[in-house]
Every structure is written in structure tokens, then in C-alpha cells.
Structure 1
């Protein structure tokens, strides 16, 4: 109970590594660096202990998916799809309000400290980094207490195409930047496509 009260007052002790937001933002910058250099064998598997994932799990899209998953569980929509799961993808290619929000997330990512956390604590740079992604949700059979394990599986590709595409143009890309990145990839492997698979499981009581 004390921890809940302290959390409500934003007086939770922080680790020397900084706040959750700071750790998530640093993780995004690491992943951007890997994209730039073509590191990690062009792929990464991330679980809930990663600060990138723990922050992504608090994103607006994931929160909306949780509500929809509960509704779909209660309506029986999962009954015929237990093995294959259901898709709850994030599509933002032509959503300008989302893109503006993502720009703000990036612009404020270097701000840190208690004041920044107070005013920017709800910013979600991992969600902005992923942009559009595929999300498939799987459910297990109900347990004796009525609970259900729900597994979220996100797959995403960070590519030159997605990084330089201009929304609302039907596939146009940033001039100069797009061909320069393509040339760097062909010459040295920089900006090589990176794949992320992100998985976590939650227990719900529908």
C-alpha cells in the first residue's frame, strides 16, 4: 500500500540509470544506432524486461488493444481463433496527428530529470520508433479461476523505406535523404533493414 501511495505522489525512488522514460529513450537511441550501423545481424527479439518493451506496453495503442481484446474475449470472437490469434495492427502511414505526436516524442527525447518526467512521463518514444507494426494476439484456454493468458506478438521492420516515406504522397520519399541512405546501405551496409520481434504475456479476467 505504501508503494502505491508513493507512486501516486511521484516519489518513487529511481535507479542510478534514471527513470523508466530515460531508460526507454536510451534504448531507442541504441536501436537507432544499430539501424544506422547495420548491427545485430539485422534483427532483435525483445521481451517485457527490456525498457523498450515495458514502455511500449503503456502506449496508447496497446491500451486500446487491451480494451478490444477484452471485448472480443467476452463476445466469443477468440473461440474460433485460439490457435491462429487475431490481428490488432497499428497503421499510421497517413495519420498526421499521430505523426506530429511522434515528432514531439523525438524532439523531447533528450530532456531528462524530475521536471521532464513530470511533464513528459506519458510520452512513448518506443511506440514512435516502431511506427506502423503488426500485432497478433493469442489467448490460452481459461484457467480454473476464470483467468486467461493473453500473449502479444509484435513484428516490425525498420527500413529505409519506412524511415524516409512522406505521408500522404502515395509512397514518395524524402529527396536527397532517401537516395543517400540507399547508397550507404549498398556501399557499407549502413541503414540495413532491422527486424524486431516483441513478445509478452498478460493475465486477464474477462
Structure 2
């Protein structure tokens, strides 16, 4: 696409603007759906959760709704900027064509008149022709100046619209204020405890997984909608090509599982099962991850919590390594959602958060919080003994 200039501000087209606007509308619909789910859940909480647990749950729902509303507003601003930029381009393009044509005609007249004026002055009738050419040139110079003035004004209009568009998009994606604030997630320090690691990208190239995190988090919210509403699929499965899996395997819990599997294989166990149990100190961090809509922490990991897994060495490679297929699975139900991590083996445990009874009531009476299953399968390369 040729870049527009002061002499042709209508040149080119704002490439991809329609596709971007369609994407922004889809994003808004997703946020609106999420807001509906949170509203339904908040209503159930208000009806059945009491005391401090109810207050904490209500505050969590309000934080979620505020975050969704803020992101919805940002997307709305970006959509408006896109539309204004597109409309400004069309307006400038229509108006500029007249003045571009006038500029071209004026310059042709100026060039032709200049050549005429340079001609032989003593030839019969030339004096009159030169005088006509001089008048034509003078008029063309005025027309050229007028065209340039109008084109410059149109150029400035388009620059202003473009800058407003770029500003809206920049704010939409900047780490502190925009919709993609959640991509800061994994490596940032947290007052609630040590941060979960990102296995692979460091802070310098975290932006390269921005879309990955967005798509993985969308999968989580689809599950939340199915769980809270009791409607939709009861099983969600992902392989290693899916963003949910790719983000989940970067988590601390999977790092611990991989270390355990490596140890088992070094001990000669090429096929086995195991379990990862979330720890009590994970609870504040996971709550922060959820209330930030995945803006902090690792949302797939926070949703999975504890999980079972099995592994199988499928290929022995010639370089002293082996390819291992790992399958992790988990059931999300009222018990798993309210069980306090780390209390399963405690005397009299496990222990549950206060909302357990109310959520069971909602499950039995309203049909929400129905059990869903997650299955995640991927491969790893490990050293052989």
C-alpha cells in the first residue's frame, strides 16, 4: 500500500481495518457473555452465601465485573477510533481526488506555458502567444497553490484520524492500561506470594505469547460458563497444539510433575501414574489470578488446581533421550472448587470454604455448578538413564 502524502492524502487504504473492527466486535461479545455468566453467579452468591465468605465472594464478583466493564470500554473506544479513521479516509479520498486533479492540471499548464515563454520572441504572433502563456501560467500558479493548500488540510485531517486510531490501539494493548494487561501475567512479582514461572519465554519476549495467553484464557472462561450455568459440554480436551495446553505446561505445577516423571524414568519406570496436589500457599495467588481475569498468574493452572496424570515413554531416541506422552486430567465440581488446598491429608480433612453448602444448594436446585472434566495431553523429551 502506497503511503498517503501531502500532495495525495487520499492515496492507499487503511489495510486490515475492517478485519480489526470485526475482531473488536467479537471481543466485545465475548466480554458481554462473560459479564452475563458473572452476573448469574453473583446472583446465586447473593442468595445463598452469608457472612465473611459471602462478602469475599461478592467482592470477587464485583472485581470481575469491573474488569470486564473496563475492557469493554477500551474495546469500544478502539472500535470508534477504527471507524473514525476509516470514515476519515473515505472522506479525504473523495475530496482529495478533485484537488489532486487540479494540481496535476495546473502543473501541466505551468510546464507548457513555461516552454511557450521560452520560445522565439521575434516570430510573427509570438508576442501575443507569450502574453497568453504568461497569463495562463499565473492563473495555474494560483490554482496550484490553492490545490496544495486544500490537500495539506486534508492530509492533516487524515493524520489526525490516524494518530487517534494508533493511540487507541496502543492503549488497548499497552501493559498497564489495555485489554492485554493479562499478558504481564506470569513473570510479574505478586504481593500474594512468589510468582508462577513462565517456562520458556523471558520478560524480553513475553509479547510473543500474547495471543497464546489470550486464547488459553478464553478456553478457561468457556469452561467457567459451562460449569456455573450447568449448560454446555461436560468434557473439555486439549492436545499440545492448543493454547490452553501450551500455557498450562509452562506452569509451576507442571514443572514439578515433569521433574517427578524425569526421576521415575531415571529409576527405570517408563510408564506410571501420579497426582499433583495444589498447596495451601497457592490459594491467595490463584484467587488473584482469577479476579484479574488471568491478568496475573497462569489461569489454566489456577483453574486446574490439583490433577491426576499418567505418562508413557513412547519413543527412545538415538541421542540418549526419550519422548514421553503425558496425560493430565481433572474434575471440577463444588468439592474441588471449595476444598482448601493442602488439607486433604490433614486430620479430619479435607476442609472446605464456607460457600460449599450454598454452592451445593445452587447445584441441586438451580442446576448450576455441574461437574466438568478437563483432559490435557502433550509430549516431552527427557533424559534416559
TM tier, smaller: 0.7 to 0.9
Unaligned runs of at least 5 residues, structure 2: 1-200
1:53 corresponds to which of 245, 255, 262: 245
Q: Cα–Cα, structure 1 residues 148 and 183, in superposed 2: closer, same or farther, change >3 Å? A: same
> Is the Cα–Cα contact under 8 Å of residues 38 and 194 in structure 1 kept in the other structure?
no
Unaligned runs of at least 5 residues, structure 1: 1-5, 112-119
> Is the Cα–Cα contact under 8 Å of residues 27 and 52 in structure 1 kept in the other structure?
yes
2:350 corresponds to which of 171, 174, 198: 171
> Is the Cα–Cα contact under 8 Å of residues 257 and 276 in structure 2 kept in the other structure?
no
TM superposition shift of 1:143: 3.4
Query: Equivalent residues in 2 for 1:63-78 (5 A)?
Result: 63-76=255-268, 78=269
> Is the Cα–Cα contact under 8 Å of residues 105 and 128 in structure 1 kept in the other structure?
yes
SS in 1 for 2:282: helix
- Once the two structures are superposed, residues 146-205 of structure 1 have per-residue CA deviations (whole angstroms, 9 ceiling, x without a partner) of 431201111100001111234547234344x33332233223432111111111122334
Paired with 1:66 and 1:86, the residues of 2 have a C-alpha distance of 13
Does 1 or 2 have the higher relative contact order (CA < 8 Å, sep 6+)?
Answer: 1
Paired with 2:324 and 2:240, the residues of 1 have a C-alpha distance of 14
Paired with 2:326 and 2:288, the residues of 1 have a C-alpha distance of 27
Q: Which has the higher helix share?
A: 2
Q: Which has the higher strand share?
A: 1
Q: TM-score, normalised by structure 1?
A: 0.73
> Is the Cα–Cα contact under 8 Å of residues 315 and 324 in structure 2 kept in the other structure?
no
- Once the two structures are superposed, residues 121-152 of structure 1 have per-residue CA deviations (whole angstroms, 9 ceiling, x without a partner) of xx211111011111111112513444312011
Aligned to 1:153: 327
TM superposition shift of 1:56: 0.6
Q: TM-score, normalised by structure 2?
A: 0.42
Paired with 1:67 and 1:171, the residues of 2 have a C-alpha distance of 27
SS in 2 for 1:39: coil
SS in 2 for 1:73: helix
TM superposition shift of 1:110: 5.4
1:184 corresponds to which of 362, 372, 384: 362
- Bigger drift between 163-172 and 21-30 goes to 163-172
Paired with 1:131 and 1:142, the residues of 2 have a C-alpha distance of 31
> Is the Cα–Cα contact under 8 Å of residues 329 and 376 in structure 2 kept in the other structure?
yes
- Greater C-alpha Rg: 2
Paired with 2:262 and 2:368, the residues of 1 have a C-alpha distance of 42
Aligned length: 179
Residue 198 (str. 1) matches residue 376 (str. 2): yes
TM superposition shift of 1:11: 7.5
